Structure 1
């Protein structure tokens, strides 16, 4: 089995029959992945999860009846370790922040079909996954969410979030410089851009990133972005 010891059991929930069957065909072609169940709405997702206990639940967000977000909340409330990965389109990107905050393990773009099987493996290995340009869009979406408030209220909200994140980072053993680098990574900056922004060398940035990953026991920049927007936003972090 391509050197992999276990088969990953995946459930697919999407109201579009063509999408369901296409994903099932693509994933079933992988020697280490088995599609154990498929469903068409959030209510089915909850029932399928209880019955089959898949290793990964791939689920659309916009579905008739119970949508994916509502279904995920219910599943995660009863099974906090459930590996829920949302499959969606760019038109759904207003849901990215909510998906990450509720504890989803990933947010993938349906059009990026080639990335789905590798993403499933990464999630089972304990990583969080974000598709394509999602990382760079999260900061914009967070700011847009804060922008719904006006005047001093918005400024106060931004300040409170920034303070919470910085304090949480310190509690996790991160320095102010390391926090700044995580913040820029979450905004989609690469090492060259971070170096220019902070007036330090690219080698120094690489060293900082390696140290941060080691401190937080994370694997990559995607996980750092998720850590910034999900974990550092919690007041009790």
Structure 2
């Protein structure tokens, strides 16, 4: 697995290179310290996964990621940052980032990279717990993909609010089995793996 690391703090870049390089299945193909370097190095190395900081001098990691994703739509990008910022989280979801992890959670970096490699999206526990509060920042005019029925969209919104099957069933006057069936259908329609990915889909597409 080939990893590119971009962080404007050289000490962080070197630390990450050491941590990841110690993994037998991981090869660090380059490090950079700016958004532009991230773009240039991605083009040169085309890594399996890009691990990138958000706040950098010349441009943000979010801006660099947008440019990369325009050119390489299948790019797998994980943001690693010290900032738990609502706007950053929403922006990262909307542009298609595969992960958003706080730097202080160093122990989660390797598992996150491995999860993203096999097709999962990874957002730290703090990010997942923050998601319900992001609803207030969403526009009332936004709509979920038309492939979901009105009932499925309603259940999806409740999942994004953090409700479990029992709570959704009680709120919508359905059986838990019916809720499970709806969720299974949504996962199949959207080709997603689990409830967390459903919540992420909601925030990306609403």
When the two structures are superposed, what TM-score results if normalisation uses the length of structure 1? Answer: 0.78
Q: d(CA) in 1 for partners of 2:15 and 2:158?
A: 36
Identify the match of residue 77 of structure 2 among 59, 74, 84: 84
Asked whether 1:176 is paired with 2:150, we answer yes
Write out aligned runs for 1:39-54 (5 A). Answer: 39-54=32-47
Question: What SS does the aligned partner of 2:23 have?
Answer: coil
Partner of 1:197: 171
2:191 equivalent in structure 1: 217
* Cα separation, 2, equivalents of 1:138 and 1:200: 25
Superposed CA RMSD in Å reads: 2.1
Match of 1:188 in 2: 162
Q: CA deviation at 1:75?
A: 1.0
Residue 32 (structure 1) aligns with: 25
Question: Structure 2, unaligned stretches of length 5 or more?
Answer: none
Verify the 8 A CA contact 2:4 2:49 in the aligned structure 1. Answer: yes
Alignment check: 8 A CA contact 2:159 2:195 kept: yes
Write the deviation string for residues 154-199 of structure 1: whole angstroms up to 9, x where unpaired: xxx41x21xx22xx2xx32x33332222112222223343334334
How many residue pairs align between the two structures?
206
CA distance in 2, matches of 1:31, 1:190: 38
Q: Could you say which residue in structure 1 is the equivalent of 2:181?
A: 207
TM-score (norm 2): 0.88
1:115 pairs, out of 90, 108, 116, with 108
Q: Cα gap change, 1:109/1:53 in structure 2, threshold over 3 Å: closer, same or farther?
A: same
Which residue number in structure 1 is paired with residue 91 of structure 2?
Answer: 98
* Contact 1:97 1:142 (C-alpha < 8 Å) held by counterparts: no
Cα deviation for residue 222 of structure 1 reads 2.0
